[in-house]
Structure 1
Amino acid sequence: MISPPRRAPKAGIHPDKGKSWLRRAWPLVRAHRALLITSLVLSFIGLIVQVQIPDLVRVGIDKALIDRTEDLTRYVWLIAALAVAQGVINFLARLYLLRTAYELEYDLRNIVFGHLMRMSYGFYDRVQSGELMSRATSDIRAVQMYLAFGPSILVQCTIAVIAFALMLSINAPLAVVAMAAMPVIGFLGVRMRKAIFPISWLIQARLAGVATVVDENIQGVRIVKAFAAEQRQINGLTEAADGVRWAYTTDARIRSRWMPVMDNLSRVGLALVLLVGGLMVIDGNATVGTIVAFNSYVLMLMPPFRMLGMIIMMGQRAAASAQRIYDILDTPTDIQEHDSTEAPHPRGDLRFAGVRFAYPDGTLALDGLDLRISPGETVALVGATGAGKSTIGRLAARFYDVSDGRVLLDGQDVRDYRLATLRDRVGIVPDEPFLFSVSLHENIAFGRPGASRDEVEAAARAAGADGFIRELPEGYDAVVGERGYTLSGGQRQRVAIARALLVNPPVLILDDATSAVDVRVEHDIHESLRALMEGRTTIVVAHRLATIGLADRVILIEDGRVAADGTHVELLASSEKYRKVLASQAVVA
Structure 2
Amino acid sequence: MTMQAKAFDTNLFKRILKYTKPYKFRYYGVIFFAFSLALFAALRPFLLEITVDDYIKTASKSGLLTYVIIMGFALLLETLSQFYFVYWANLLGQNIIKDIRIKLFKHILTFRMKYFDNSPVGMLVTRSVSDIEQIARIFSQGLFMIFSDLLKMIVCLVVMFWMNWQLSMIVVVAMPILVYITRIFQRKMQLAFEEVRTQINNMNVFVQERVTGMKIVQLFNREDIEFEKFKEINQKHNQAWIKNILYNSIFFPIADIISSITLGAVILYGGLQIIDENPFTTLGQMISYTMFIGMLFNPLRQIADKFNEMQMGMIAANRVFDILDTNDDVQNDGTKTATHFHGNIRFENVRFSYIDNEEVLKGINLKVNAGETIAIVGATGAGKSTIINLLNRFYEINSGSIYIDDQNINDFKLESLRQQIAIVLQDVFLFADTIHNNITLNNPEITRETVINAAKEIGVHKFIKSLPGGYDYDVKERGVMLSSGQRQLIAFLRAYVSNPSILILDEATSSIDTYSEELIQRATETITKGRTSIVIAHRLATIINADKIIVMDKGQIVEEGTHQELVTKSEGYYKKLYDSQFSLENNS
Q: TM-score range by the shorter chain?
A: over 0.9
8 Å CA contact 2:332–2:410 kept in 1: the answer is: yes
Unaligned stretches of 5+ in structure 2? 1-8
**CA distance in structure 2 between the aligned counterparts of 1:504 and 1:209, rounded to whole angstroms:** 43
Tell me by how many angstroms 1:545 deviates. Answer: 3.5
**CA distance in structure 2 between the aligned counterparts of 1:492 and 1:187, rounded to whole angstroms:** 64
8 Å CA contact 1:384–1:581 kept in 2: the answer is: no
**CA distance in structure 1 between the aligned counterparts of 2:160 and 2:302, rounded to whole angstroms:** 21
TM-score, length-scaled by structure 2: 0.92
Q: Tell me the SS of whatever aligns to 2:360.
A: strand
Letter in 1 for 2:282: T
TM-score, length-scaled by structure 1: 0.92
Q: Tell me the SS of whatever aligns to 2:365.
A: strand
Tell me by how many angstroms 1:59 deviates. Answer: 1.0
* Residue aligning to 2:89: 97
Tell me by how many angstroms 1:40 deviates. Answer: 2.7
Tell me by how many angstroms 1:264 deviates. Answer: 3.5
Change (3 A) 1:261 1:19: closer
Tell me by how many angstroms 1:463 deviates. Answer: 4.6
8 Å CA contact 1:465–1:491 kept in 2: the answer is: no
8 Å CA contact 2:548–2:563 kept in 1: the answer is: yes
* Residue aligning to 1:10: none
8 Å CA contact 1:356–1:403 kept in 2: the answer is: yes
Q: Tell me the SS of whatever aligns to 2:403.
A: strand
8 Å CA contact 1:508–1:536 kept in 2: the answer is: yes
> Over the residues paired in the alignment, what is the CA RMSD in angstroms?
2.1
Q: Pick one of 423, 444, 447 that aligns with 1:452.
A: 447
Change (3 A) 1:488 1:267: same
Letter in 2 for 1:538: S
Tell me by how many angstroms 1:110 deviates. Answer: 1.2
Q: Pick one of 466, 481, 488 that aligns with 2:483.
A: 488
* Residue aligning to 1:8: none
Unaligned stretches of 5+ in structure 1? 1-17
Letter in 2 for 1:35: R
* Residue aligning to 2:52: 61
* Residue aligning to 2:5: none
Residues 80-117 of structure 1: CA deviation (Å, up to 9, x unaligned) = 22222322332222222221121012112112212211
8 Å CA contact 2:93–2:135 kept in 1: the answer is: no
8 Å CA contact 1:189–1:312 kept in 2: the answer is: no
* Residue aligning to 2:383: 388
Tell me by how many angstroms 1:189 deviates. Answer: 3.1
Correspondence 1:330 to 2:325: yes
Residues 350-381 of structure 1: CA deviation (Å, up to 9, x unaligned) = 11111111114765321111101111110011
Q: Pick one of 74, 93, 100 that aligns with 1:108.
A: 100
Q: Tell me the SS of whatever aligns to 1:385.
A: coil
Tell me by how many angstroms 1:585 deviates. Answer: 4.6
* Residue aligning to 1:21: 12
Question: What is the aligned residue count?
Answer: 572
**CA distance in structure 2 between the aligned counterparts of 1:151 and 1:475, rounded to whole angstroms:** 53
Q: Tell me the SS of whatever aligns to 1:223.
A: helix
Correspondence 1:241 to 2:237: no
Structure 1 vs Structure 2: percent identity of aligned residues? 30
**CA distance in structure 2 between the aligned counterparts of 1:241 and 1:111, rounded to whole angstroms:** 32
**CA distance in structure 2 between the aligned counterparts of 1:263 and 1:116, rounded to whole angstroms:** 47
* Residue aligning to 1:580: 576
Q: Tell me the SS of whatever aligns to 2:568.
A: helix
Correspondence 1:508 to 2:503: yes
Q: Pick one of 39, 64, 71 that aligns with 1:79.
A: 71
**CA distance in structure 1 between the aligned counterparts of 2:132 and 2:413, rounded to whole angstroms:** 31
8 Å CA contact 1:50–1:86 kept in 2: the answer is: yes
Tell me by how many angstroms 1:342 deviates. Answer: 4.1
Mapping of residues 303-314 of structure 1, within 5 Å: 303-314=298-309
8 Å CA contact 2:370–2:531 kept in 1: the answer is: yes
* Residue aligning to 1:41: 32
Q: Pick one of 288, 293, 314 that aligns with 2:288.
A: 293
**CA distance in structure 2 between the aligned counterparts of 1:277 and 1:237, rounded to whole angstroms:** 59
8 Å CA contact 1:351–1:372 kept in 2: the answer is: yes
Letter in 2 for 1:134: T
Tell me by how many angstroms 1:304 deviates. Answer: 1.1
Residues 106-135 of structure 1: CA deviation (Å, up to 9, x unaligned) = 112112212211111100100101111111
**CA distance in structure 1 between the aligned counterparts of 2:335 and 2:55, rounded to whole angstroms:** 85
* Residue aligning to 1:408: 403
Q: Pick one of 176, 196, 212 that aligns with 1:219.
A: 212
Change (3 A) 1:235 1:366: same
Q: Pick one of 564, 572, 584 that aligns with 1:569.
A: 564
Q: Pick one of 479, 482, 506 that aligns with 2:474.
A: 479
